[in-house]
Amino acid sequence: DEHYDPRAVQDKWQARWAELDPFEADEKDTAHERRYALDMFPYPSGDLHMGHAEAFGIGDVPARYWFQRGYNVLHPIGWDSFGLPAENAAIKRDSHPAEWTYANIDTQAASFRRYAPSFDWTRRLHTSDPEYYKWTQWLFLRFYERGLAYRKGGHVNWCPKDQTVLANEQVVGGHCERCGALVEKRVLTQWYFKITEYADRLLDDMAQLEGKWPERVLLMQRNWIGRSTGADVDFVIEGRDEPVTVYTTRPDTLYGATFMVVAADAALAEEICHPDHRAAFEAYRDEVSRESEIERLSSEREKTGVFLGRYAVNPVNGERLPVWASDYVLAEYGHGAIMAVPAHDQRDLDFALKFGLPVRVVVETGLADPAETGVATPGDGAIVNSGPIDGLTKADGISRITGILAERGTGRASVNFRLRDWLVSRQRFWGCPIPIVHCESCGEVPVPDDQLPVRLPEGLRGADLAPKGTSPLAAASDWVNVECPKCGGPATRDTDTMDTFVDSSWYYYRYCSPGYEGGPFDVEQVRRWMPVDQYTGGVEHAILHLLYSRFFTKVLYDMGMVDFTEPFTRLLNQGQVINQGKAMSKSLGNGVDLGEQIADFGVDVVRLAILFSGPPEDDIDWADVSPHGMSKFLSRVHRIASEVTSAPGADAATGDTALRRATARTVDEATTLVETQRFNVAIARIMELVTATRKAIDSGPGAADPAVREAAETIAILLSLFAPYTADEAWSLLGSTAPVIKAGWPTADPALLVEDSVTCVVQIAGKVRDRLEVPPGITAEALERQALASPKIQAALAGADVAKTIVRPPKIVNIVPAR
C-alpha cells in the first residue's frame, strides 16, 4: 500500500521501540566510542508544550546521529521536580505538592514517549525523590565541611509575593524571576554557597569553552562575574581611629576627588555619622530601605543623600573631603564607600551639581568643562593638577599612583567581583531540607551521613504550606525537635529548604549511575561518560543554572571526584517558538497547542517543521511554518521506499552514476551540516536527494536501478535524525527487520565526490554574458579559447577588439573590450 498515514506509522513504531528499547546506554561496553547528549531537564508544569517540542527535537538530533554512527550514547531524561508552582497548586487545591508533581511527570513522560526523543528511560530521575535528594544533602554537607556552605546575616532579596528570599541571580531588573513581584530588601540570616571563592576560576576556565559555547552566553557569564581591577585607597577620617577604604578603578583621578560617599545602608555610614547629623541621616536611611533595587540603580533618577558631618583626608594631598551618605553607592560592592571624582564620573557629577560640591578636572580629554556641561569626561588624556603624575596617561597614572600609595602604606592594587555568594536557603516547603541541626550548646551540627536523607515532614498539606515568611517546615514540631547528633541534648532541625538550582546543579552526574548507593555518583562511570558532549537548552539559563553547574563541577574537582573542570563541552541554546511574531500567550490568544499539532499532523511533521524552519538558535514563528509542506515531503519519502524494486543488497556500483553522485554528495554534506548544527540545511539537502530520486524513478533509470535503492536507503537513514517514525517505516519498506537506528551511518565513496565538471562564468567588462561547463583541471589557454569561441560572447562583443582577457581557471574569464 502506497498510502502514507503518519499517525498509523507513529503508533506502530512507538510500540516497537518500547519493546526494543534501542536507546539504552551500555555501561559495560568499552569497545565503542562514547557520547553524552544532554537536554536541560524539564520542570513538570502541566503537559509538554511547543517549547519542549523545539528543545527536545533539537537535542535529539546529535543523540540520534551518534546512535546512528554506532557510538555508545548516553541520552537520559529526568525531572527537576521540586519548586514553587507545585506548592502553590497544593495550597489552592488543598492537596500535597507531590500529587501535582508526579501526576504532571506522568503526563509529560507519556507525551515524551510519543514525541520520541531517543531517551534511555532506565535512567530516569526526579530531584524530589528521597533517593535523589539524599545526595543533594550529602553534597551540601561536603560543601559545609569545606567552608563553602555557611550562614550569615545581612541584606537579602525578599519576594513579598512568594514570601521567600531569592538569590541575586533570581532577581531580574529588580523583579522576582518567578512571579514578577518587585523585590524588597530584608535583613535576615541565611545559608550561602561561597561561589565567590571560585570567581577567578569561573572566569579563567571559560577559555576552554571559547568557540564551543555561544559567545553571548560567555559574555553574560563574564559580565555577571564582573571582574574589575583597580586600587584600594585608605582615607583617614577626622575624629576616628580607623581609616575608611574605598575601591576605585581610577586611582589616577585621586587628585580630582572632591568628596566621599558612603552607602546609606552600610553599617559604616551609621558608625561614622556625626551625632549632630544623626536624625537627618536616619530619616534618609529609612527612606532608602524602602526603595527597590531597580530604583536605586536607575541613572535617570535625581541623586539623593545627606552630609554625615565628617571629613576624610586625601592621602596624596591632605585635602579635606566632606563625607556624604547616598543610595547610589552600594553597601555590598567594594567597601561600600567611594571617593567621588565628579569631573570624570557621571554619577559623582550629578551628585556634585545637585549638592553644590566642587568639580575639579584632572584629566585633559579635550572635551568641555564637565561643571558647565553637566557631562563627565571618563576618557583617557593627559593628567593635570595632580602633582607627581602630571602629564602621564591614564594607564601610567594608575600604576604610578598605585605604587606611591603602596610605598606609603595607604593603598594597594585590588581586584573586585560583581559576583556575590549564592544564597541557597528558601522559606518554602517543596524543596530539599537543609541537613543541619541547631543545638543550644553545640551550635550548628551537620546531620551525620548515615542519617540521610532528612526527609520532608509528613502530614503537611494545603493551607499548612501557605507562605508566612518563615518556613512551613517549622510547623511540623515532631519533625523539628530532635536530639543533637553531637551531645544528645535538645536541638531543632534547620527548617529552610534549598534553592532548586542546587538540585539541578548536579543531576547530569547522577544520570551516569542513577541507582548508585555509594555516593551521589559512581566516580568510575562519571569518568567514562563525562564531560557532557552536547548540552541543549534555553538561553534563559545562560547565567543561573550554567554558572552554578560550573561551580559545582569545580568543587567536585577539588574534592577529587572528577578529573575535569568544565561539565559541558558544547552548548546549544535553541530559540523560542513564537506565533505571528509574538511570544505565545493566553492574553494574545496566539497559543499553539503541541497536542493539537501532533493530533493534526503527527510527530514527524511537527519535528521536521521545527527543525527545517531555520537555524536551531533562531526563534521559530509558527505562522511561517508549513506543516502541510512537511507532510507532503514525508509522503514522497514513503512512496519512494515503497516503489523500490531491486533486492536488498543489490550492488549499487552497477547503478546510475548521476544518482549515485547525488547520494554521495548528500551524505558528505549532511554529515558536516549535522556536526556543525546546521540542521535546517541538512534537511534541505535530503529534500534535494528525494527530488533527484523521484526523477530517477519517473524519467531516469527507473525503480529497479540499484542506485535508486541506495538513494532510498540513504534518505531513510539521514531522515531518522529528524523524522524518526517515517524513517523507520521507510527502512522497513526497504526490507529490513531491524530498526533504522541499527543501520549505521553511510559513508560517501570519495570517487563519487569528485566533480566532473564545474561552471565557468564568462564576463565582458565585468558583466556575466555566458556560463560554460568545463573540466575542473582545464588550463588557462584552453579556457580562454573556449570562452572566446562561445557564440554568446561573439554576439555580445559585436566585432569589438579584445584589449585583454583575465583568466582564472576553472571558474572565471573576464574579457575587456578595446574602446
User: Which grid cell is 380?
Assistant: 583617557
- Of 247 and 422, the one with the shorter C-beta distance to ligand ANZ is 247
- Of 262 and 787, the one with the shorter C-beta distance to ligand ANZ is 262
Could you tell me if 149 and 516 are in contact, meaning their C-beta atoms sit under 8 angstroms apart? Answer: no
**428 in contact with ligand ANZ (CB under 6 A):** no
Count of positions on this chain that bind ligand ANZ (CB under 6 A): 19
| Stretch of residues binding ligand ANZ (CB under 6 A), selected from 26-34, 341-349, 503-511, 797-805 | 341-349
- 797, burial (CB in 10 Å: exposed 0-12, middle 13-18, buried 19+): middle
CA 584 vs. chain centroid, Å, equals 21
Pick from 182, 188, 294, 330: which binds ligand ANZ (CB under 6 A)?
Answer: 330
- Of 91 and 338, the one with the shorter C-beta distance to ligand ANZ is 338
Q: Judging by DSSP bridges, how do beta strands 758-764 and 767-774 pair with one another? A: antiparallel
- Of 418 and 438, the one with the shorter C-beta distance to ligand ANZ is 418
Residues in region 368-387 near ligand ANZ by CB under 6 A: 378
Helix (H) or strand (E) holding 291: none
Angle, nearest 10°, between helix axes 6-20 and 603-612?
100
C-alpha to C-alpha distances, 793 to 152, 579, 776, 778, 786, nearest whole angstrom: 84, 51, 21, 19, 10
- 1, burial (CB in 10 Å: exposed 0-12, middle 13-18, buried 19+): exposed
Judged by beta carbon distances under 5 to 8 A according to partner kind, the member of Zn ion, ligand ANZ, none in contact with residue 344 is ligand ANZ
Alpha helix segments (H runs only) across 700-779: 706-719, 724-733, 750-753
Judged by beta carbon distances under 5 to 8 A according to partner kind, the member of Zn ion, ligand ANZ, none in contact with residue 487 is Zn ion
C-alpha to C-alpha distances, 687 to 168, 500, 723, 802, nearest whole angstrom: 48, 44, 13, 45
Minimum gap (Å) between residue 420 Cβ and ligand ANZ: 12
The backbone region for 503, taken as left when phi is positive above 0, alpha when psi lies in -120 to 50, beta otherwise, is alpha
- Of 196 and 736, the one with the shorter C-beta distance to ligand ANZ is 196
**357 in contact with ligand ANZ (CB under 6 A):** no
The backbone region for 558, taken as left when phi is positive above 0, alpha when psi lies in -120 to 50, beta otherwise, is alpha
Judged by beta carbon distances under 5 to 8 A according to partner kind, the member of Zn ion, ligand ANZ, none in contact with residue 378 is ligand ANZ
**401 in contact with ligand ANZ (CB under 6 A):** no
The backbone region for 30, taken as left when phi is positive above 0, alpha when psi lies in -120 to 50, beta otherwise, is alpha
Pick from 237, 260, 484, 634: which binds Zn ion (CB under 5 A)?
Answer: 484
Pick from 103, 487, 653, 800: which binds Zn ion (CB under 5 A)?
Answer: 487
Minimum gap (Å) between residue 191 Cβ and ligand ANZ: 24
Could you tell me if 308 and 281 are in contact, meaning their C-beta atoms sit under 8 angstroms apart? Answer: yes
| Stretch of residues binding Zn ion (CB under 5 A), selected from 141-149, 464-472, 483-491, 526-534 | 483-491
Minimum gap (Å) between residue 395 Cβ and ligand ANZ: 14
Contacts of residue 265, defined as CB under 8 A and 6 or more positions apart, other chains included, come to 155, 185, 285, 288, 289, 327, 331
Amino acid sitting at position 755: E
Minimum gap (Å) between residue 514 Cβ and Zn ion: 36
Could you tell me if 627 and 601 are in contact, meaning their C-beta atoms sit under 8 angstroms apart? Answer: yes
Q: Which position has the grid cell 556552605?
A: 149
Per-residue binder mask for ligand ANZ (CB under 6 A), 240-279, x = binder:
-------xxxx--x---------x----------------
Contacts of residue 277, defined as CB under 8 A and 6 or more positions apart, other chains included, come to 306, 307, 308, 309
Pick from 486, 636, 678, 742: which binds Zn ion (CB under 5 A)?
Answer: 486
Residues in region 423-442 near Zn ion by CB under 5 A: 439, 441-442
- Of 441 and 657, the one with the shorter C-beta distance to Zn ion is 441
**334 in contact with ligand ANZ (CB under 6 A):** yes
Minimum gap (Å) between residue 301 Cβ and ligand ANZ: 14
What b/e string do you get for 440-467 counting C-beta neighbours within 10 Å, with b at 16 or more?
A: eeeeebbbeeeebbbebbeebbeebbeb
Neighbours of 711 (CB within 10 A): 28
- Of 253 and 726, the one with the shorter C-beta distance to ligand ANZ is 253
- Of 13 and 255, the one with the shorter C-beta distance to ligand ANZ is 255
**233 in contact with ligand ANZ (CB under 6 A):** no
- Of 247 and 722, the one with the shorter C-beta distance to ligand ANZ is 247
| Stretch of residues binding ligand ANZ (CB under 6 A), selected from 331-339, 475-483, 511-519, 613-621 | 331-339
**HSE of 188 in the Cβ direction (CA atoms, 13 Å)?**
22
For 338-407, the DSSP string reads: EEE-TTT-HHHHHHHHHHT------EE-SSPPHHHHS----S--EE-S-GGGTT--HHHHHHHHHHHHHH
- Of 85 and 446, the one with the shorter C-beta distance to Zn ion is 446
C-alpha to C-alpha distances, 234 to 406, 413, 495, nearest whole angstrom: 10, 12, 42
Minimum gap (Å) between residue 226 Cβ and ligand ANZ: 7
C-alpha–C-alpha distance, residues 180 and 174, integer Å: 9
Q: Is 586 annotated as a binding residue?
A: yes
Judged by beta carbon distances under 5 to 8 A according to partner kind, the member of Zn ion, ligand ANZ, none in contact with residue 224 is none
Minimum gap (Å) between residue 437 Cβ and Zn ion: 8
Which positions lie near Zn ion, rule CB under 5 A? 439, 441-442, 484, 486-487, 489
Which positions lie near ligand ANZ, rule CB under 6 A? 228, 247-250, 253, 263, 329-330, 333-334, 336, 338-339, 341, 344-345, 378, 416
Could you list the residues known to form a binding site, using ranges.
Answer: 586
Could you list the residues known to form a binding site for ATP, using ranges.
Answer: 586
